[in-house]
Structure 1
Amino acid sequence: MKLMKSYEEQLSLEVEQRRMTVELIKLISDLWYENNIELLLFRNQLIDRNASEILNLLDYAKEFVQKPISISNVLKIAKKIREMDLPPAKIDIGKLAYVFHLTGETDMEDFVLKKLGDAHNKNGIKPKDVVLYGFGRIGRLLARELMSRTGKGVQMRLRAIVTRGQITKEVLEKRASMLRKDSVHGYFKGSVKVDFEQQALIINGTTVFVISADGPEDPDYTKYGIRDALIIDNTGAFRTEEALSRHLKAKGADKVLLTAPGIGNVPNIVYGVNQHHFDPDKHSVFSAASCTTNAITPVLKVVNDTLGIKHGHIETIHAYTNDQNLVDNMHKKYRRGRAAALNMVITETGAGKAVSKAVPELAGKLTSNAIRVPVPNGSLAILNLNLQTKTSKEDLNAIMKKYALEGDLVEQIRYSLSNELVSSDIVGTLEPAIFDSHATIVSKGGDNALLYVWYDNEYGYSHQVLGLAKYIAKVRRFAYY
């Protein structure tokens, strides 16, 4: 019979765990701000986390991988990384601890050396200036993330924000206020000040110019010391190759990334799935597709690659957006004129068709529709799939768990272990697809499956945009995750 530890023993253990966690927090901060080395724990960001948050992430990690990953394990790994004098890198210390346990090796320091020893051969990135063209929901989240993850500035540097209309002191103050506070995502963990003389926002002590322009070709970015910039268009107003190419006529602009589905010849990319089909040296205009397409495509690719999909239907239960009316009023589209916070609204989505641009094998196999519901953020896609290979709920979940843990889609798929998951729980999740393992349904015959995929249609999508932006800008660091 296992004896329960006394209260004093439990308290002593908790104190020691927190002491080690505080030591880990300092290492995380030092590595990030001094060496631009970002430590993660099974894709969870660790920068600016407190001790309780990190210990909770460790509890999730142990349950997820079914291995005895402890704070002492990850602290030992972080210490070794600190000693190694690595180039800028992104390293998942949870994954390192997991693989260490899998291999059965006994010397953790030697193991870390072997796994990260070739990092110096994958260095050589040049910082990229970034301009946000449009400053709405996605634009502000991108600004938050870009400024929070600047580090030593060796990757992407937010240099300017472009908006329409006159830039008065009142306008700048309002822009700053909306960046500081968000009704869905809370307070920005940083400082935002206004410099009206320079017509700029000072974010975390760094100047970000606010530029007024009536069209994409109007700004002269070189006047602000900006060169070869990646323009991230968040307006959705310019979606064809011709329209987006207008950005390239502006002085100082180099590449364009649209945060909406592109039309015609514009490459629609789901980062993690098909970005390598488009060489940044040969293309100048890109699209990050839609939030729904980014949520369902990674999961559909996994199912199609492993079991095969005959055909299927995608139904999205989507948070309402700014495109809908707050109260009943005229709208160019049917049903969207009704009050968004009071109604479930059936509407169309092109996500099912858009998937085939990233996974051509699924062309013509999927139908899709959407229901907008009265929540401000947090959405759910229900994938009803007829499979080529019969399976079971247990086997299908095992497949998804494997791909969430290893392979090319670990940044895109989060495997949820909770049977209490609801939409507010996924707000702020980095991955664009949260696979709800407890909700999976497989027919008795094994050839039909219902999969439930949650997604933060703002935050998760913004991280996909940034992943693609880093690929386009060629500032991807050495990574182990």
Structure 2
Amino acid sequence: MSRQRPIRVGIMGFGQTGRQIYELAAMSEDVEIVAVADIGRPHILHYLLRSEVEQPEKFRLEGNFLVTDRFRSRLVEIDRPAEMPWDVFGVDAVIDSTGKFRDSQSMGDHLASGAPRVILRTLPTDDIDRIIIPGLNEASASADDRMISAGSATTGALALLLDSLAEQFEIVCGNMTTVHAYTSDQALQDYAGSDYRRSRSAAKNIIPNNHEASDWIGYFLPQFEGKILTSALNVPVQEGCLLDVNLVMADSAVDAEAINAAMCKAAQDHPGIIGVAEDPIVSSDVIGSPLSLLFDLKGTIKAGQNTIKTLSWYETRGHAARLLDVVRLYDSLDSRKEVA
């Protein structure tokens, strides 16, 4: 059964990821954004969108509507799920890209407001129906799922790396440090925040931080439960992140060449999701990449008998693309259910 109309999507939160989702939808043929909920004023949201896209002239503001060549999106100045009348807009799915409403109660508010399904751009804080990482566990999705997370950019990149290597090698344990661009919840000047280090200026410091990926890796890859430690260094760049992973291999014969060959195969098996970089790239070179994981072939090093160090790149646009992939996945499941 072929879809007769585009998938109708609502977005809550028009920050960087929300705007990237919007641009990617505008470039697609099968998704349209019908409503955007954000506390920002329409002309400011329009201005921010146009400042980031490659063809700003394609994005117009007509009253309270963002308009593209393919669809019109109603801008609604609302910032809480319970207040947004999704039913009025006939959405097929809502993407919550705020990063704030991560609990099942808030997701339930989206559903109660008329969203048939809600997808988080972040990991959840409690039990929901499903967490889907495209390229890893799409087969676990069910048409009955209503509260879904697409994980996070870092967790998805790490899970894809581990899964790709675990297909060929036994990994004893490892640790990951994400060298991460600073985020919107960090202060640009020193300002009293949630903890000592995060109270320091994001624009002039390398800030050590914890990362929750280690809490979730076992969910996707049970063989790695309790075996991967994760942390973060937030650095003064706006975009582009580096995944620094050290793995202890069971077989001391595994070398850098074998690891690189495995990742080249993974890139062939998962086009558009995993890629490899042969050039000596830096963080700005990954800006705009739609990949979840760009493996750096020049960054693979063997240290001692059993330790392999790897470098991989990613940025939020890749995660925005995966969020739309999750929307498409569930639309496909719905279509199959209707046929059945």
Question: Would you call these one fold, judging by a TM-score over 0.5?
Answer: yes
Distance 2:172 2:70 in 1: 54
Instruction: Find the partner of 1:410 among 263, 266, 271.
Output: 271
Distance 1:401 1:358, change over 3 A: same
Distance 1:188 1:292 in 2: 28
Structure 1 residue 207 and structure 2 residue 72: aligned? yes
1:245-394 equivalences under 5 Å are 245-251=108-114, 253-266=115-128, 267-279=130-142, 281-390=143-252, 391-394=254-257
Distance 1:476 1:146, change over 3 A: farther
Distance 1:214 1:428 in 2: 27
Maintained 8 Å contact 1:293/1:351: yes
User: Match of 2:331?
Assistant: 473
Maintained 8 Å contact 1:133/1:232: yes
The percentage of counterpart residues that share the same residue type is 26
Distance 2:79 2:300 in 1: 48
Other structure's SS at 1:354 match: helix
- AA paired with 2:163? K
The Cα shift of 1:203 comes to 2.2
Distance 1:287 1:334 in 2: 30
The Cα shift of 1:424 comes to 0.6
The Cα shift of 1:471 comes to 0.8
User: Match of 1:88?
Assistant: none
Maintained 8 Å contact 1:329/1:338: yes
The Cα shift of 1:412 comes to 2.1
User: Match of 1:145?
Assistant: 24
1:73-88 equivalences under 5 Å are none
User: Match of 1:112?
Assistant: none
Aligned structure 1 segments of 4 or more residues deviating by more than 6 angstroms = none
Distance 1:142 1:476, change over 3 A: farther
Maintained 8 Å contact 1:138/1:462: yes
Q: Kindly provide the CA deviation profile for residues 340-390 of structure 1, in whole angstroms up to 9, marking residues without a partner as x.
A: 111100011111222222212211111111111111110111111011233
Distance 1:428 1:476 in 2: 31
The Cα shift of 1:474 comes to 1.9
Instruction: Find the partner of 1:443 among 303, 315, 320.
Output: 303
Which stretch has the larger CA shift, 318-327 or 266-275? 266-275
- AA paired with 2:43? E
Distance 1:193 1:475, change over 3 A: farther
User: Match of 1:181?
Assistant: 51
Structure 1 residue 231 and structure 2 residue 91: aligned? no
Maintained 8 Å contact 1:125/1:476: no
Maintained 8 Å contact 2:13/2:79: no
Maintained 8 Å contact 2:32/2:71: no
The Cα shift of 1:476 comes to 11
Distance 2:218 2:282 in 1: 29
Structure 2 residues not aligned, in runs of 5+: 336-340
Distance 1:214 1:394 in 2: 49
Maintained 8 Å contact 2:132/2:149: yes
Maintained 8 Å contact 2:7/2:32: yes
User: Match of 1:452?
Assistant: 311
User: Match of 2:42?
Assistant: 172
Distance 2:79 2:185 in 1: 21
The Cα shift of 1:159 comes to 0.6
Instruction: Find the partner of 2:58 among 188, 191, 202.
Output: 191
Maintained 8 Å contact 1:125/1:475: no
- AA paired with 1:193? R
- AA paired with 1:206? F
Larger Rg: 1
Distance 2:49 2:275 in 1: 27
Two-structure CA RMSD over aligned residues (Å):
2.0
Distance 1:214 1:143, change over 3 A: closer
Query: Which structure shows the higher helix fraction?
Result: 1
Distance 1:347 1:444 in 2: 28
Distance 1:213 1:383 in 2: 40
Structure 1 residues not aligned, in runs of 5+: 1-122, 166-170
Maintained 8 Å contact 2:59/2:66: yes
1:7-18 equivalences under 5 Å are none
Structure number with the bigger relative contact order (C-alpha 8 A, sep ≥ 6) is 2
User: Match of 1:156?
Assistant: 31
Maintained 8 Å contact 2:276/2:296: yes
- AA paired with 1:449? I
Maintained 8 Å contact 2:204/2:236: yes
Maintained 8 Å contact 1:141/1:462: yes
| Alignment size in residue pairs | 332
